[in-house]
Amino acid sequence: MALNRRLKFGFTVAAALIQFVILFTLKKYKNSILPKPDNHVQFYQKPENVQWINELPMQERKKLVHLLHTQEVPWKPDVTKVAQYRAELGQCCNASVQLVLTKENVPLGSNITYVNGNAKVAVKADLIELLPKISPFSHSRYKHCAVVGNSGILRQSRCGQEIDLADLVVRFNLPPLMFPEDTGTKTTLMTINPSILKEKFHFLQKEWDLFVDALNPYVNAVFLIPAFTHPDNEGMAYRALYTMEAMGLGKKVFFLNPKYQRSLTDYWRGERSWSPRLSSGFIFINMALEFCQHITLYGFWPFSRDLDGQAVSYHYYDDALPSDTAHNMSTEFSHYLHLYSQKVLFFRYGKCI
């Protein structure tokens, strides 16, 4: 009985302390990105005065507070929840088999439906020659995975060493590794989006040296190109592939399967409202949910300020602003917080050292 009374007293004190911490934190950050109940969260201002302004519900604000106060606490995934997501995603989307195009999942004479719209393209012999027989990810399982976004929140984080210790490191769109102490250098999987081929490498019509220079730090990685999101992207994807073949990287380049992208979109639309297409970050976090036991996100932060009110650049390596409205970053970020609160993945915010 005495033990029970002591335990009850201990739980009461702990609950009071937690409540005090939450109230204190909300008060401390009331003028930063954590909004008041009737306010909106300011996302990055975009060209032509278009803004991302979305309401962040009270539940999401509480998750942000929880995120801030648990960064230094030892974290372990909830293996039951992780297994549940892996099973559901495996059933609906099956990244092991469907993530990339193969001779097996798009045989000669079949049709590929683009992600955007209902247009189709016939699978011909010239495409078949470029595809692997089976998926290179058919038996992929990893203990610790790092999914590294490109947000300026990475600057001064000193997370490079921690990132490089992961078994699988996913990065996006060939970012320059100019701050290795913050970003690390190890890369297992790299996406190359058509938007980057257009904007940064001028459709690969000329000046291929810029593209080659961007690829050089990543010659040990596997590359995924979403070639079939739209008919206009196909030509660029082939030019990228041929350039990489000339560098000796041809066998490490794969085309993302639009069927996988559509299946993933359908899966999440059943729960929440989404934009016309999912971001690369969201797609490959879902891939990691199928492949990885322990996932840590770095460099995912859609806000223009951090929790202390300091400015945060959209990319850690430049001052560019978002250039399109195709992705619903606020909804995706809310989902990352939800996964974090369920102990499905760890969301790294702030410094690692």
Is residue 330 within 8 A of residue 55, CB to CB? The reply is no
Is residue 241 within 8 A of residue 130, CB to CB? The reply is yes
First and final C-alpha spacing in the chain = 44
Q: Please name the helix (run of DSSP H) or strand (run of DSSP E) that holds residue 295, with its range, or none.
A: strand 292-298
Is residue 159 within 8 A of residue 136, CB to CB? The reply is no
Q: Is 262 helix (H, G, I), strand (E, B) or coil?
A: helix
Q: Is 309 left (phi over 0), alpha (psi -120 to 50) or beta?
A: left
Q: Is 336 helix (H, G, I), strand (E, B) or coil?
A: helix
Q: Is 189 helix (H, G, I), strand (E, B) or coil?
A: strand
CA 277/CA 273 separation, integer angstroms: 11
Sign of the four-CA dihedral 115, 120, 123, 126: negative
Identify the residue whose tokens are 């992208």.
261
Sign of the four-CA dihedral 10, 69, 71, 63: positive
CA 201/CA 240 separation, integer angstroms: 10
CA 246/CA 240 separation, integer angstroms: 10
**Which amino acid belongs to residue 76?**
K
Count other C-beta atoms under 10 Å from residue 220's C-beta: 12
The two beta strands, 168-172 and 142-148, are parallel
Active site includes 327?
yes
CA 279/CA 282 separation, integer angstroms: 5
Sign of the four-CA dihedral 319, 185, 301, 202: positive
**Among residues 202, 327, 335, 338, which one is catalytic?**
327
The set of catalytic residues is 327
